[in-house]
């Protein structure tokens, strides 16, 4: 089974949110998911979109959590060194990661690490759920001073579950949609680039169109109507 959580992220002040007075129009949602146990970690690593973000408590055993990026973020992904997660959302995910670590949940001042799925490495020689990093420089960290029960409880109230098979199907469907939109965007960018290049050439040679094949035919006597008159030169 795969567990899903929905995190609400609002640009309104947290004090207003606590009293339910935040502006809903400024509230967005983010999807977080994790496997039920370590056996589920391998299919999540294998089938999650490579750009989704993986979370784990540093130096302690914990569940593997993932941030599902939006379709827009997946179609035009940023390099991870330039990718940022909104601070409030990052705090929520870090708290949920800490809460799902038997040892880490009991300690203060722990560190949660995160990196893109595509930076994870695992193979058959490693214990179930164990991963290493292809590039350690692409691992970011956030310090969690203490457990915030209010944050964790709020996220747990949104918890739902689906089968691993359904998770795989949904991830594959997302990947297909992302690829279609990416190709459409590439085609649109190519058309815009061509339009820009054509305009640049016209600006460089504003009389270039006068020598086009159609204009040459129109001005040539060879292609005039047999009943043409001198007025056609006027």
Asked if residue 200 belongs to a domain, the reply is: no
pLDDT of residue 189: 84
Asked if residue 72 belongs to a domain, the reply is: yes
Residue 234 binned pLDDT confidence (cut-offs 50, 70, 90)? very low
Asked if residue 89 belongs to a domain, the reply is: yes
pLDDT of residue 214: 58
User: Computed from CA positions of residues 201, 206, 211, 213, in that sequence, does the dihedral angle turn out positive or negative?
Assistant: positive
Tokens representing residue 167 in the block: 């998770």
Q: What is the pTM of this model?
A: 0.77
Q: Quick: pLDDT tens for 160-170.
A: 999 999 999 99
Asked if residue 223 belongs to a domain, the reply is: no
Closest to 94 (Cα-Cα) out of 52, 43, 155, 46: 155
pLDDT of residue 122: 86
pLDDT over threshold 80, residue 156? yes
pLDDT of residue 192: 82
CB 90 within 8 A of CB 142: yes
Q: Which domain holds residue 10?
A: 2-182
pLDDT of residue 224: 52
Tokens representing residue 77 in the block: 């992904």
Total structural domains in the chain?
Answer: 1
CB 71 within 8 A of CB 185: no
The contacts of residue 65 (CB under 8 Å, 6+ apart) are: 32, 33, 34, 54, 55, 56, 93, 96, 97, 100
pLDDT over threshold 70, residue 228? no
Asked if residue 59 belongs to a domain, the reply is: yes
According to DSSP, residue 206 is labeled: T
- DSSP, collapsed to helix, strand or coil, labels residue 181 as helix
Mean pLDDT of the chain: 85
Q: At what angle do helices 149-156 and 87-99 cross, to 10 degrees?
A: 90
- Mean pLDDT is lowest, of 8-12, 13-17, 62-66, for 13-17
Asked if residue 202 belongs to a domain, the reply is: no
Closest to 95 (Cα-Cα) out of 40, 168, 149, 162: 149
Residue with tokens 């089968």: 163
Asked if residue 229 belongs to a domain, the reply is: no
């Amino acid at each position: 089974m795969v567990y899903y959580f929905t995190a609400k992220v609002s640009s309104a002040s947290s004090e207003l949110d606590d009293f339910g007075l935040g502006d809903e129009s400024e509230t967005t949602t983010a999807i977080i998911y994790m496997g039920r146990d370590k056996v589920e970690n391998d299919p999540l690593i294998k089938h999650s979109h490579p750009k989704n973000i993986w979370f784990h408590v540093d130096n302690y055993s914990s569940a593997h959590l993932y941030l599902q990026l939006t379709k827009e973020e997946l179609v035009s992904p940023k390099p991870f060194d330039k990718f940022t997660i909104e601070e409030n959302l990052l705090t929520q995910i870090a708290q949920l990661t800490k809460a799902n670590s038997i040892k880490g949940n009991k300690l203060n001042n722990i560190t949660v690490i995160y990196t893109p799925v595509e930076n994870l490495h695992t193979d058959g020689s490693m214990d179930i759920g164990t991963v290493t990093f292809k590039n350690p420089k692409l691992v970011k960290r956030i310090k969690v001073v203490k457990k915030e029960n209010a944050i964790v409880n709020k996220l747990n109230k949104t918890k739902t579950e689906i089968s691993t098979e359904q998770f795989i199907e949904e991830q594959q469907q997302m990947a297909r949609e992302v690829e279609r939109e990416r190709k459409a965007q590439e085609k649109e960018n190519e058309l815009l680039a061509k339009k820009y290049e054509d305009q640049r050439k016209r600006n460089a040679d504003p009389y270039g169109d006068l020598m086009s094949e159609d204009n040459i035919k129109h001005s040539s006597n060879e292609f005039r109507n047999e009943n043409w008159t001198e007025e056609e030169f006027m």
